[in-house]
Structure 1
Amino acid sequence: MPQDCQELVETYQAEGVIRVRKLFDADRMAGIRQALDRYSKQIAPTLPASDVTFEADGQSVRNLWRMEQHDAFFSDLADDAQLLELVRELVQGEPVLMAVETFNKPAKTGSGVPAHQDNAYFCRTPPDVLTVWVAVDPVTLANGPVSYVRGSHKLGMLPHKPSGVAGNSMGLDAPYDDSDPFVGTLEPGDALMHHCQSIHYSAPNTTDQSRCGLLMVFRAEHAKVDSQLKGQYALGGPAT
C-alpha cells in the first residue's frame, strides 16, 4: 500500500470511504482470479441457496456469500498482515473477519444496488465495521461503480425498508444528497474501504465488461450486536 497510512485514516474519518491503489499486486490478483474460478465451478454448485444469489436470468451469479466458510483460500486472504494493519487503524480496534463475498455485476445483466447503509445488515454498535471492496475487473464510470455520499457515515443510522432486490434486501427510506458523490472507479487490485454507515449505491451494468468485486467485511472486536437494529432487520427480512 503506497499511500501514507495516516493520510488514509484521516480521509476515512472525514469522508467514510477511501480508495487504496494496488492493495494487491498483479501476481496476487492472478491467484485470486484462479481461486474465484475454481470456487465458481467446484464449490458454488454445491452450496445452499442462501449462499448464492443469481441475477434475474436465473443463471448469472450476482453474489457469493460466506466464502470464508467454504474455502480456506478466502479466509487466509483476509488474514493478510498488511491489510489488517490498515483495517486495525480504521476500525479502531482488533479486526474480526465477518464475511468474504462477491458482488459480481456480470456484463449486460448486472443489476443495480439501492442506496443503503451496510449497518442495516450488520447491526453493530459502536459501528466500527468496514468493507474492503477489491476490484477483480476494471471498474469504470460505465459498468456500475459504487458511489458514496461523502461524510454520510456521520449521520447515524437512517431508516431503511425492504427493497425487493435480491442480494440487497434493504434500501434507504430517507432522502440523501447525491450531488457530489465519491465514485469508486478502480483498476484490478485497487480497493475501496468504506464505513458501515456510509450511504452507497450503484447502477446496473449494461456494458460488455464484467465488474466483479471481492469483498471482505471486518468489525472491531469491541463492536457488538445492536439488538434494536437486529430487530429492525428481522422485520425487513433476510438478505436473499
Structure 2
Amino acid sequence: MPQDRQKLVDTYQAEGVIRVRKLFDASRMAKIRQALDRYSTQIAPSLPASDVTFEKDGVSVRNLWRMEKHDAFFNDLAGDEQLLGLVLELVQGDPVLMAVETFNKPAKTGSGVPAHQDNAYFCRTPPDVLTVWLAVDAVTLANGPVSYVRGSHKLGMLPHKPSGVAGNSMGLDAPYDDSDPFVGTLDPGDALIHHCQSIHYSAPNTTDQPRCGLLMVFRAEHALEDPELKQQYAMGGAAT
C-alpha cells in the first residue's frame, strides 16, 4: 500500500470512497483465494441459510455472511496491522470488526445491487462505519463494478424501502445524482474503502469472468446501534 496516507484520508473525507492499490500483494492474495476455496467447499455447505445467499438459479453463491465467525483465517485477516492502521484514521475511533463477507457476482449469473447506503443495514449512530472491499478477481467496466456517488456520505441517512433483492433487502427511496459516478475498477489485491452513508450500486455480471469481492466491515467503537434504523431494516428483510 505505497500511496500517500494523508491523501487517502483527505479523499475519503471529501468523497466518501477511496481506491487503495495493492492493499495485499500477490502472495497474500494467493492465500486468500485458497482460504475462500476451502471455505466454499468445506464450510459453506453446512452453514445455516442465514449465512449464505444464492443467486436466482439456486446454485451460484451470491453472498457468504459472517465468515469471521466460521473461520479463524478471515477473522485474522481483518486484524492485519497495516489495514487496521488505515481504518483507524478513516473511521475516527478504535475500529471494531463487524463482519467479513463476500459479494461473489458469478460469471453470467451475478445479480446487480440496488442503490443504497450501507447504514440502512448497519444501523449505527454516529455513522462512523466503513467497508473495505477487496478485489479477489479483476473488476472491470463490464463485469459489474461498484459505482459511488461522490460526497453522498455528507447527505445524512436517506429514506430506504424494501428492495425485494435477496442479499440486498434495502434500496434507496430518494433521488440521487449518478451523472458522474466514481467507478470502482480494480486489479486483484486492490481495494475500495467506503463510508457507510456513501450511495453505491452495481450492475449485473453478464460476462464470462467472475467478480468476487471480499468485504470487511469496521465500525468505530463509539458507533452504537440505532433502534429506529434497526426496526426499518428488520421490516425490509421480512418483506424480502
- Equivalent residue letter for 1:18: I
Match of 1:34 in 2: 34
Deviation of 1:190 after TM superposition, in Å, equals: 0.0
Aligned 8 A contact 2:162 2:239 in 1: no
CA distance in 2: counterparts of 1:238 and 1:16, whole angstroms: 30
> Pairwise CA RMSD of aligned residues?
1.0
Deviation of 1:237 after TM superposition, in Å, equals: 2.2
CA distance in 2: counterparts of 1:216 and 1:231, whole angstroms: 24
Match of 1:233 in 2: 233
Deviating above 6 A after TM superposition, structure 1's stretches of 4 or more consecutive aligned residues are: none
Matched, 1:185 2:185: yes
Gaps of 5+ in 1: none
TM-score, reference length from structure 2: 0.99
Match of 2:138 in 1: 138
Identity %: 88
- Equivalent residue letter for 1:143: N
CA distance in 1: counterparts of 2:239 and 2:59, whole angstroms: 19
* Residues 1:166 and 1:210: Cα distance change in structure 2 (over 3 Å): same
Q: How many residues align?
A: 240
- Equivalent residue letter for 1:14: A
Deviation of 1:127 after TM superposition, in Å, equals: 0.3
Deviation of 1:229 after TM superposition, in Å, equals: 1.0
Gaps of 5+ in 2: none
* Residues 1:145 and 1:219: Cα distance change in structure 2 (over 3 Å): same
TM-score, reference length from structure 1: 0.99
User: For 2:2, what is the secondary structure of its paired residue?
Assistant: coil
CA distance in 1: counterparts of 2:133 and 2:47, whole angstroms: 23
Q: State the Cα deviation string for residues 134-157 of structure 1 (Å, max 9, x = none).
A: 000000000000000000000000
User: For 2:99, what is the secondary structure of its paired residue?
Assistant: strand
CA distance in 2: counterparts of 1:237 and 1:24, whole angstroms: 34
Q: State the Cα deviation string for residues 91-137 of structure 1 (Å, max 9, x = none).
A: 01100000000000000000000000000000001100000000000
Matched, 1:202 2:221: no
Match of 1:43 in 2: 43
Aligned 8 A contact 1:168 1:239 in 2: no
Deviation of 1:235 after TM superposition, in Å, equals: 2.1
CA distance in 1: counterparts of 2:71 and 2:24, whole angstroms: 19
User: For 1:204, what is the secondary structure of its paired residue?
Assistant: coil
Deviation of 1:239 after TM superposition, in Å, equals: 9.6
